[in-house]
Amino acid sequence: MKIALAQLNYHIGNFSSNVQKMIRSIREAENSGADLVVFAELGISGYPPRDFLEFDDFINRCHLALEDIAPHCKKVAAIVGVPTYNKDGKGKPLYNSAAFIANGKVQKFIHKSLLPNYDVFDEYRYFEPNKRFEIIEFQDRKIALTICEDLWNVQDNPLYTVNPMDELMALKPDLMINIAASPFNYHQIEIRTEILRRNAEKYKLPLFYVNHVGAQTELIFDGGSLVMNAKGEIMEELKYFDEDLKIVEVDDIQNGKASTQNEKKLVIGMIHDALVMGIRNYFEKLGFKKAIIGLSGGIDSALTAALASEALGPENVYNVLMPSEFSSAHSVKDAIELAENLQMPYDKISIEEAYSAFESTLKPYFQNLPFNIAEENIQARIRGVLLMALSNKFGYILLNTSNKSEAAVGYSTLYGDMNGGLSVLGDVYKTQVFELAQYINREKEVIPHHIITKPPSAELRPDQKDTDSLPEYDILDEILYQYIEKRLGPKEIIAMGFEEKLVQRILKLVNTSEYKRYQTPPILRVSSKAFGMGRRMPIVGKYLS
């Protein structure tokens, strides 16, 4: 039996596009001699559909889409992820299901048993967990079909009281198929591969795994679908960050040689590819083509511009330099050099006149108080107004350039440099920003060397440096990582050797800045704990604040 793994980039709620992609894959698989083609979890609807699932019309369209696919499955069978109604009369209204289609019609639905309800996942909000375990019989093979999380209860700290594969093994399956929607983070590939390996080794069965690829707003799916033999060795691996289709002969899995292509991936390279795809898909799926960026001559905006140029094409990234009286000549020069290196269009608009107008207007009301953060934020907000005005006038999407270190401690200005339709670097720590810049320059100098080596500065007051307000970024980022990603408390972080007052100050900044993060654009997720839908914190909480 030949199985085709179809790794596709779906678009949430775009049923016609999703169906067309599936039908093309079915035809390609059929023409290549496949017997069964496998698609990813909730492929018909796209993942995650979130509260679209509360609309009967949305679910009905999913079923109409399934009816469109079925007639194309007369010579080749298919497994298709789709939400279905729970007709038992009790429990949640839906199942997260996989339809098995053969001979031109749906033969069986298999429902997901383990529903993740942590981090970015919220499946128990919508779906009822399956409690009846069945296999699929096809061409004298017994297939144990599971859906994503169903294979994840083999960890050392199991989250669930049941293991679907333990139940299915009583039915003596010949192979496992798992359809998934496993979002990318820079630890996930290694973790996911280990989970799949544990399943293959535990049940001594070959495993066929199909994942989503593509970005859905902040969530990025890296693909990496694969086939393992019963020893847990990777026999085939599909592309990362790209659509792919591969056909595998089941009988060859146990006798073939393990793949030599599945070498360990470079973490910073994976983050780079994820961000580029995240930008590209955000624009494509919203129907936009052009981005606008406030290019300051600093490393964050330089990196954002370079990533956007790769994602959208340099001609589609409009850069606006907005110097003030505090901007160094070298920053303007660096920004122009970057734009010219990448052949991106740019303009320079001074904010000095606008800033003077604000100063004059507010002078009677500022009561002769000295220059402080109020004047700094006015400059940032003037820049935000200019960028949004150009965005409105010409239909650009403004890309936010703030990094995760700044977002964590509130080192940014609401309605100023926090503006944007998409936050590109909001899940990238400052130390990683430097690594990404070096990665982009790995073959030639794209980002000017001076941008990378000069001390970071907001340039909102004379001789300003980030270190005036924050510790060195290698120290700050490690404290932030231990608190945000690892969820360690202050005592544990201090025990690692960090100064007590510094730890207390940083954690307080993180928690008291929550109100700002509630008002940020969606952030492309590349870590295991990003700000946004996967980290839900109260604004008025007193803990550590």
3-class DSSP state for residue 468?
helix
Lookup: tokens for 318: 């409009």
Q: Among all chains, which residue has been given the structure tokens 């990683």? A: 432
- Picking from 85, 429, 455, the residue whose alpha carbon sits closest to that of residue 297 is 455
Residue tagged active-site, from 2, 112, 285, 516: 112
Q: What is the DSSP letter of 456?
A: P
Assess whether 289 carries a catalytic annotation: no
C-alpha dihedral (508, 509, 511, 516), degrees to nearest 10:
160
Whole-Å CA distances, 148 to 121, 127, 180, 182, 414: 12, 14, 4, 7, 39
Q: Among all chains, which residue has been given the structure tokens 């030599």? A: 260
Alpha-carbon distance of 146 to 142, in angstroms, equals 13
- Picking from 230, 130, 123, 138, the residue whose alpha carbon sits closest to that of residue 183 is 123
Assess whether 41 carries a catalytic annotation: yes
Assess whether 112 carries a catalytic annotation: yes
Q: Among all chains, which residue has been given the structure tokens 């659509």? A: 243
Residue tagged active-site, from 2, 21, 30, 41: 41
Letter string b/e over residues 427-437, b meaning 16 or more CB atoms within 10 A of that residue's CB? bbbbbbbbbbb
CA–CA–CA angle 480, 484, 490 (5° rounding): 70
Task: Report the amino acid identity of residue 51.
Answer: D
Report whether 388 contacts 294 (CB < 8 A): no
Letter string b/e over residues 338-353, b meaning 16 or more CB atoms within 10 A of that residue's CB? bbebbebebeebebee
Residue tagged active-site, from 62, 148, 246, 290: 148
Alpha-carbon distance of 244 to 241, in angstroms, equals 9
Task: Report the amino acid identity of residue 171.
Answer: L
3-class DSSP state for residue 85?
strand
* Active site amino acids: 41, 112, 148
